[in-house]
Amino acid sequence: MPPKPKCTRQEVASAALGIIKEKGLEGLTARELGRRLGTSASPVFTIFPNMDEVKMAARGLAIEEFKEYISDYREYTPAFKRIGMMIVSYGIHQPELFRLLFMQSHEAGIDIHNILHDLGDTADICIGLLMEDYGLEKQEASLLFEQMWINAFGIGVMCANRVCDFTEEEIGRRLSITFAGLCMFIKSGRTDEIYGNAEKRTDGIFRGRKVGELPYLKAGE
């Protein structure tokens, strides 16, 4: 019979998350995890098959912490903007957890829907807020949310990696400008006029190629 684990799955995941917070993902090793748990590394592998699984368990706890971090959005108007602000704030104040949640590479490319699905009901909450507060259809709200998520993610990455420092006022202004422009464009009903990469025509002028295969979009005339 395999040896009885000396610690629980929750204890291992919690210890791993603590190491990531303090030392980053690079600091999460079997030896360090065993030291944190007051044992050797061996008991860990009676619960988890490998360190990748340990990291995923820690990520699950981090997702719950992130959802708690943004949970006060209902106290603010507009609520959706508050969520965007807190995403960036997470990159500033919890850079290692931001990297764990949002900056992990994948062997095979995945689309944004898979990434957002990993965050539980966060996407559904945001899409619901956009439909409720701005009178958007679900497809419109989904498109707006995805584009704003990419924008907030980009600012968060810059902050988490200390590429650039933004004040709270700057973050709010930049998110608001992007949101206002996207919202007006989506409400205009002209999303079918989006073009892809520009190419040079015989007259020497660069014109965009219509790309009907883009999500939510149809090729315009």
Give whole-number Cα distances, 209 to 77, 143, 200, 202, 205, in Å. 39, 21, 10, 14, 12
Are residues 183 and 196 both part of a single domain? no
95 shares a domain with 10: no
- Mean pLDDT in residue range 19-24: 93
**Domain containing residue 8:** 1-62
Point out the domain boundary residue: 62, 79, 98: 62
DSSP assigned state of 42? G
Whether residues 183 and 215 fall in one domain = no
Q: State whether residue 210 is helix, strand or coil.
A: strand
Instruction: Quickly state the pLDDT bin for 220 (edges 50, 70, 90).
Output: very low
> Please, which pLDDT band fits residue 205 given cuts at 50, 70 and 90?
low
> What values do phi and psi take at 48, rounded to 5?
-115, 140
Q: What is the pLDDT of residues 86-139, one digit of tens each?
A: 999 999 999 999 999 888 776 666 677 777 777 778 888 999 999 999 999 998
Last-in-domain residue among 62, 82, 109: 62
pLDDT in tens, 47-69: 888 999 999 999 999 999 998 99
Does residue 75 have a pLDDT over 60? Answer: yes
- Helical residues (DSSP H) of the chain, grouped into ranges: 9-23, 30-37, 51-69, 79-93, 95-102, 112-117, 122-134, 138-160, 168-187
> What type of residue sits at position 154?
G
Do both 165 and 82 map to the same domain? Answer: yes
**Which of 62, 86, 101 is a domain's end point?**
62
For residues 88 and 18, state if they share a domain: no
Question: Taking a C-beta distance cutoff of 8 angstroms, is the pair 193, 207 a contact?
Answer: no
181 and 85, same domain (yes or no) = yes
User: Domain tally for the chain?
Assistant: 3
On whether the pTM is more than 0.85, the answer is no
Q: Are residues 172 and 107 in the same domain?
A: yes
Q: Kindly state whether residues 162 and 221 are assigned to the same domain.
A: no
Coil/strand/helix, residue 16: helix
**Mean predicted lDDT score pLDDT of the chain:** 82
Span 10-14, average pLDDT: 93
Same domain, 166 and 106: yes
Q: How confident is the model over 191-218, as a mean pLDDT? A: 54
Instruction: Yes or no: say if 77 and 47 are a contact pair by the CB < 8 Å rule.
Output: no
In this model, does residue 200 exceed pLDDT 60?
no
Closest of 61, 47, 67 to residue 19, by C-alpha: 61
Q: Which of 94, 87, 95, 137 has its CA nearest to residue 116?
A: 87
CA distance 220 to 7: 60
CB 100 within 8 A of CB 59: yes
Indicate whether 39 and 75 sit together in one domain.
Answer: no
Q: Is pLDDT of 17 > 70?
A: yes
Mean pLDDT computed over 135-161 = 91
Q: Give the model's confidence band at 217: pLDDT under 50 very low, under 70 low, under 90 confident, else very high.
A: very low
Which of 95-104, 169-178, 198-207 is predicted with the least confidence, judged by mean pLDDT? 198-207
Q: What is the mean pLDDT of residues 197-221?
A: 51
Q: What would the mean pLDDT of 194-199 be, rounded to a whole number?
A: 54
Query: Domain check: are 54 and 93 in the same one?
Result: no
**What is the four-CA torsion angle of 167, 146, 185, 211, rounded to 10 degrees?**
130
- Domain containing residue 45: CATH number: 1.10.10.60
pLDDT at 203: 64
**HSE toward the beta carbon, residue 83, CA cutoff 13 A:** 22
- Whether residues 131 and 52 fall in one domain: no
CA dist., res. 135 & res. 120, Å (int): 24
Indicate the DSSP class of residue 121. Answer: T
